[in-house]
Amino acid sequence: MFDHKDLHQLHAQSLKMQSWIRQQTFSPEMEKTLRRFSSWEVSELILKINQSTFRGRLAADPSLPAGEVEEDGRQRWYSLEEVNELRRRMKINRKSLMPHRPAGKRAFRAAIANFKGGAGKSTVALHFAHAAALDGYRILVVDFDPQATLSHSMGLNDVAEDHTVWGIMARDLIRETDRMNAGSVAAASGTALPRRKLPASIRDLGLGELRVSDFIQSSAWPTIDIIPSCANAAFVEFASAQYRHLNPEWSFFAAVSRYLDAIPDDAYDLIIFDCPPAIGYQSMNAVFAADMLYIPSGPAYWEYDSTTSFIGQLSEALEELAIGFDGTFPAGNMTLPKAFCDVRFLLTRFEPGNELHQAMYSAFQKVFGDRLAVHPIEMTRAVEQSSRFLSSVYEIDYRDMTRETWRRARATFDRGYEEFKTSIIASWDDLEDKS
Q: Say if residues 40 and 75 touch (Cβ distance below 8 Å).
A: yes
Reply yes or no on whether the pLDDT at 90 is more than 80. Answer: yes
Reply yes or no on whether the pLDDT at 434 is more than 50. Answer: no
Cross-strand pairs, 345: 295, 372
Q: pLDDT digit string (tens) for 360-418?
A: 999 999 999 999 999 999 987 777 766 666 789 999 999 888 888 899 999 999 999 99
Which one, of 39, 70, 69, 67, lies nearest residue 53 by Cα?
39
| 372 vs 301: CA distance, rounded Å | 16
Q: What torsion do the CA atoms of 164, 166, 167, 173 make, to the nearest 10 degrees?
A: 150
Q: What torsion do the CA atoms of 14, 20, 25, 29 make, to the nearest 10 degrees?
A: 130
Distances in whole angstroms, Cα of residue 212 to Cα of each of 217, 220, 227, 269 = 11, 21, 11, 17
Distances in whole angstroms, Cα of residue 4 to Cα of each of 1, 9, 50, 241 = 10, 9, 61, 22
| 253 vs 281: CA distance, rounded Å | 7
Q: Which residues contact 213 (CB under 8 A, 6 or more apart)?
A: none
DSSP state of 91: E
Q: What is the pLDDT of residue 74?
A: 78
Q: pLDDT digit string (tens) for 100-109?
A: 999 889 999 9
How many helices (H) and strands (E) in the chain? 15, 12
Q: pLDDT digit string (tens) for 253-264?
A: 889 999 999 999
Whether pTM > 0.75 for this model: the answer is yes
How many of the other CB atoms lie within 10 Å of CB of 170?
25
Q: What is the pLDDT of residue 435?
A: 42
Q: Percentage of the chain with pLDDT > 70?
A: 85
| 275 vs 281: CA distance, rounded Å | 11
Cross-strand pairs, 159: none
Superfamily for domain range 108-434: P-loop containing nucleotide triphosphate hydrolases (3.40.50.300)
Q: What are phi and psi of 258, to 5 degrees?
A: -65, -40
Cross-strand pairs, 139: 224, 270
β-strands 217-218, 292-297 pairing: unpaired
Q: What is the pLDDT of residue 245?
A: 80
Top pLDDT among 424 and 325 is at 424
Average the pLDDT over each of 15-19, 30-34, 307-311 and give the range with the smallest value: 15-19
How many of the other CB atoms lie within 10 Å of CB of 264?
9
User: What are the CB-based long-range contacts (under 8 Å, 24+) for 90-95?
Assistant: 90/47, 90/57, 90/64, 92/49, 92/53
Task: For residue 343, give the H/E element and its range.
Answer: strand 342-347
| 122 vs 228: CA distance, rounded Å | 13
Q: Say if residues 340 and 292 touch (Cβ distance below 8 Å).
A: yes
Reply yes or no on whether the pLDDT at 248 is more than 90. Answer: no
**Residue 179's pLDDT band (cuts 50, 70, 90):** confident
Q: What is the pLDDT of residue 393?
A: 93
Top pLDDT among 27 and 43 is at 43
| 150 vs 273: CA distance, rounded Å | 10
Cross-strand pairs, 110: 272, 292
Q: Say if residues 269 and 99 touch (Cβ distance below 8 Å).
A: yes
Q: What is the pLDDT of residue 258?
A: 93
At 213, is the secondary structure helix, strand, or coil?
Answer: helix
**Residue 129's pLDDT band (cuts 50, 70, 90):** very high
Give me the chain's average pLDDT, please. Answer: 85
What is the arithmetic mean of pLDDT over 110-133? Answer: 91
At 271, is the secondary structure helix, strand, or coil?
Answer: strand
What is the arithmetic mean of pLDDT over 230-240? Answer: 71
**Residue 331's pLDDT band (cuts 50, 70, 90):** very low
List the chain domain ranges. 37-96, 108-434
| 66 vs 87: CA distance, rounded Å | 13
Reply yes or no on whether the pLDDT at 24 is more than 70. Answer: no
Read off the amino acid at residue 261: D
